[in-house]
């Protein structure tokens, strides 16, 4: 039975709110009161610096009662992941994040630690890399990672910041059209279009949708379907992954 414990957010900040404020209650409930420190992975951020990125995240977690170490500040990053009580993966550019995870050798170590049961929190790019691949990211490929294969902590794909918005003057594809292309060439794979303010909590074999934004789920041969926090998404955990395997 899977020991995975994940909290996967679409976004880090809602309009007119402080950083992670919309997810504060969910994070505290997820991490619990006994856990004291989290390890932050800032590698998705290109500009500004990792330090500038870590500062507001650290402030938010300290407000919630957790100390935060950022892996970029530590001399032995592999040891830090090995000893971490929880992993927090921030958003930014998914290609840069995955490139850095491969380059530092942290990808496999993080995967093993989470599969052993330590909590994992991600948002945006941090949610993307929890999936089998990063093929459903919204980001520009500013560099080429070693592979598109990611952590594979869930057997489905996530598209963060999912929106139906399509300005009349825009002649490009809608988000739904782009995801339809993915599922067409990846039959059997579910894609969760995670709307702003929403998140998925996975506890072993149980998955729950949290937040007010809801989600739209895509799969080849099926009409895209909207889900709310009251609906079951258990079918996602028995789906075929984008790597062709089941969890």
Residue 243 placed within a domain: no
Q: Is 246 domain-assigned?
A: no
Residue 23 included in any domain:
yes
Residue 247, domain member (yes or no): no
In a domain, 146, yes or no: yes
Selecting among 127, 139, 198, 241, the annotated active-site residue is: 139
Can you give the pLDDT at residue 113? 98
What is the residue-wise DSSP string for 2-31? ---EEEEES-S--TTS-TTGGGHHHHHHHH
Which strand (E) or helix (H) includes residue 99? helix 94-104
Q: Is the pLDDT of residue 246 over 70?
A: no
Q: What pLDDT score was predicted for residue 244?
A: 44
Confidence of residue 110 (pLDDT cuts 50, 70, 90): very high
Predicted model pTM: 0.95
Confidence at residue 176, expressed as pLDDT on a 0 to 100 scale = 94
What's the order of all strands across the beta sheet hosting 225-227? 157-162, 191-195, 215-218, 225-227
CA–CA distance, 81 with 2 (Å, rounded to integer): 20
pLDDT of residue 238: 82
Least confident range of 32-36, 82-86, 166-170: 166-170
**What pLDDT was estimated at residue 240?**
57
Domain count, the chain: 1
Number of H helices, E strands in the chain: 7, 11
Report whether pLDDT(171) > 90: no
- In the chain, % of residues over pLDDT 90: 89
* CATH number of the domain within which 189 lies: 3.40.50.880
**Does any domain span residue 62?**
yes
Phi and psi dihedrals of 126, rounded to 5? Answer: -65, -25
Q: Is 231 a catalytic residue?
A: no
Confidence check: pLDDT of 247 > 70: no
Task: Please report which confidence band the pLDDT of residue 179 belongs to, taking 50, 70 and 90 as the band edges.
Answer: very high
Q: Is the pLDDT of residue 245 over 50?
A: no
**139 an active-site residue?**
yes
Selected catalytic residue, list 60, 124, 127, 198: 124
DSSP 21-68: GGGHHHHHHHH-SS--EEEEE-TT--SS-HHHHHHHHHHHHHHHT-EE
Q: Is the pLDDT of residue 239 over 70?
A: no
- For residue 165, what is the DSSP state? -
Tally of CA atoms within 13 A in the half-sphere of 148 that contains its CB: 10
From the list 131, 236, 237, 2, the residue with the least C-alpha distance to 227 is 236
Residue 29 bears catalytic tag: no
Tens of pLDDT along 26-67?
A: 999 999 999 999 999 999 999 999 999 999 999 999 999 999
- Asked if residue 244 is part of any domain, the answer here is no
Residues in the chain: 247
Domain extent at residue 175: 5-238
Report, as an integer, the average pLDDT of 223-235.
Answer: 97
Find the Cα–Cα–Cα–Cα dihedral 206, 212, 213, 219, rounded to 10°: 30
Taking phi over 0 as left and psi of -120 to 50 as alpha, with beta for the rest, 22 belongs to alpha
Q: Assess whether pLDDT exceeds 60 at residue 81.
A: yes
Do the domain assignments include residue 201? yes
At 241 the pLDDT is 58
């Amino acid at each position: 039975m899977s020991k995975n414990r994940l909290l996967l957010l679409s976004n880090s900040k809602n309009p007119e709110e402080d950083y992670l404020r919309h997810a504060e209650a969910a994070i505290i409930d997820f991490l619990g009161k006994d856990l004291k420190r989290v390890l932050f992975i800032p590698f998705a951020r290109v500009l500004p610096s990792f330090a500038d990125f870590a500062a507001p995240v650290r402030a938010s977690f300290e407000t919630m009662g957790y100390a935060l170490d950022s892996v970029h500040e530590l001399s032995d990053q592999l040891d830090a992941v090995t000893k971490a009580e929880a992993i927090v993966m921030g958003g930014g550019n998914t290609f840069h994040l995955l490139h850095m995870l491969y380059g530092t050798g942290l990808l496999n170590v993080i995967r093993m630690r989470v599969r052993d049961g330590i909590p994992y929190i991600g948002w945006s790019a941090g949610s993307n890399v929890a999936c089998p691949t990063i093929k459903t990211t919204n980001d520009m490929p500013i560099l080429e990672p070693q592979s598109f294969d990611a952590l594979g902590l869930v057997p489905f794909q996530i598209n963060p910041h999912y929106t139906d918005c399509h300005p009349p003057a825009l002649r490009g594809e809608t988000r739904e059209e782009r995801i339809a292309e993915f599922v067409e060439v990846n039959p059997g794979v579910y894609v969760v279009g995670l709307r702003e303010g929403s998140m998925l909590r996975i506890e072993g074999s149980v998955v729950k949708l949290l937040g007010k934004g809801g989600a739209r789920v895509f799969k080849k041969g099926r009409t895209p379907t909207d889900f709310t926090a009251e609906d079951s998404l258990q079918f996602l955990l028995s789906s075929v992954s984008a790597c062709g395997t089941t969890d």
